[in-house]
Every structure is written in structure tokens, then in C-alpha cells.
Amino acid sequence: MNKTYAGFGLALLVQVVLLAAIPWGRVGDASTGQTIWLEVRASDRQDVMQGPYLDLDYEISDPKQFAEVPALNMGEKVYAVVRQTDSGVWRGLRVEGDLSTPLPENHVAILGAVVDRGLEIHAFLHEEADGSWTADSVMTGREALKDRPVHRPEDRAVATAWVGRGVIVYRDIESYFVPESRRQQLAEDLRTHPEEVFAQVRVDELGRATLLQVRIQERVYDF
């Protein structure tokens, strides 16, 4: 069996190109549109703070959070229709391909795009005396290869697979710039209250969203 190291740079580049090709446009007057609160889930990534930015992983990014979801294709433009609940947080109702149908007054449609944010799985193999190969450990994530077991290279190999997971991303509201003076406090709030994170966004008539602030429990971080 030959040693195989699968790379995913091309796949990631394709996702970036697809997102860039969608006609998002720029949100105009930030004072217009509907202001809503969305729940932000604790990210499944090891470090949600990438340098000076906080990556926001919205509840409505997961298609499973919607009662009605059509077949989704990577790179496809979609609208997440959300509705306000008694708690004041807006929850996902359904996903639509266009805005041809007028929405009720208490509904808002947010423009998004479908991308593949799957998981890399690495199986570390060693060669047996009879020439067969056996997996002695399995790790996930892109950082796994940095921590791979160290053995003689001639009898080691890595088999890598990609498990696809389609999610909906929302441009301009998925990253929050954190000033240096507030990074330590924000990191502490995230560790202490990972299930009490909400984002206030403003959505215009075309579904384009603008991030206004992030709230963790009772502490507010303005964008």
C-alpha cells in the first residue's frame, strides 16, 4: 500500500470561489431593515477566536434546525426564513430558494449560501509482517497530522477521508472583530457561558444581513 496524504486545499478554494460568485451586494443604509436576535452555538472548532476575530456559528447554519428544507446544492443561494419566538430570539422556520412569496409580518428571510464544512478523518496505519496494513489510531480535523504518531516512515501511512456536511453560511455576520482590549474578557465569557451567546443583526428587504453586536449572557460587544 502506498503512503497517501490527501489534500483539501482545492476543495476549500472551490467553496471560496462559489461564495464570491453569489451576488450578495453591499448592505446600504444600516439604519433600515428589520433588527433581530439570533442564537449563536458554541463552535465545534477547537479555537473559535482566530486572531482578532471571533467565528460565529449560528443555530440557523444547520439545515436540521429547519422544519422545511429543500434539496441543497453546494454554492447555491438560499434564504433562511426565521420567525420571532416568545423569548425574543428568532428561530429557523424553513429554507427557500427565492423570495417570490411575500412573507408574513413576523417573518424575516436571510440570504445565505450552502457550503460543505465536512470533517477530515485520518487513519494512521502500520504495516504488518505479512504485508497487510492495520489502523492503530484515528484522528479528526486538519490539525491531526501535526500530532501523528512518530515511527519509521517506511512502515507508516495515513489514509484520509472527508465526510461531507452541508451548512448555510451568511456573509458579513459570521465574523466579529474583537478589539485587543476586550479579547481576554470575551474569551472568558465564551468559556463560562457557551450556551448564552446571541447576535443582533439587521436584515434588509433583500435578505442581506449586517452584524450589529454580540451578547454573551448580559454582556454586550458592539460590532
pLDDT per residue as tens digits for the range 57-82:
899 999 999 998 888 888 899 999 99
Whether the per-residue pLDDT at 110 is higher than 90: the answer is: yes
**Distances from the Cα of 131 to the Cα of 3, 72, 128, 148, 156, angstroms:** 14, 43, 5, 22, 12
**Distances from the Cα of 60 to the Cα of 81, 82, 120, 134, 192, angstroms:** 9, 9, 23, 40, 23
Whether the per-residue pLDDT at 192 is higher than 50: the answer is: yes
CA–CA gap between residue 178 and residue 163 (Å, rounded) = 32
Residues 6+ apart with CB under 8 A from 177: 52, 53, 223
Predicted local confidence at residue 7, as pLDDT: 43
* Burial class of residue 134 in the structure, from the number of CB atoms within 10 Å of its CB (0-12 exposed, 13-18 middle, 19+ buried): exposed
Predicted local confidence at residue 76, as pLDDT: 92
Predicted local confidence at residue 175, as pLDDT: 85
Amino acid at 26: R
pTM of the complete model: 0.67
The better pLDDT of the pair 165, 63 is held by 63
Strands 107-116 and 77-84: antiparallel
CA–CA gap between residue 170 and residue 19 (Å, rounded) = 10
Least confident of 97-111, 140-154, 166-180, 181-195: 140-154
The better pLDDT of the pair 156, 206 is held by 206
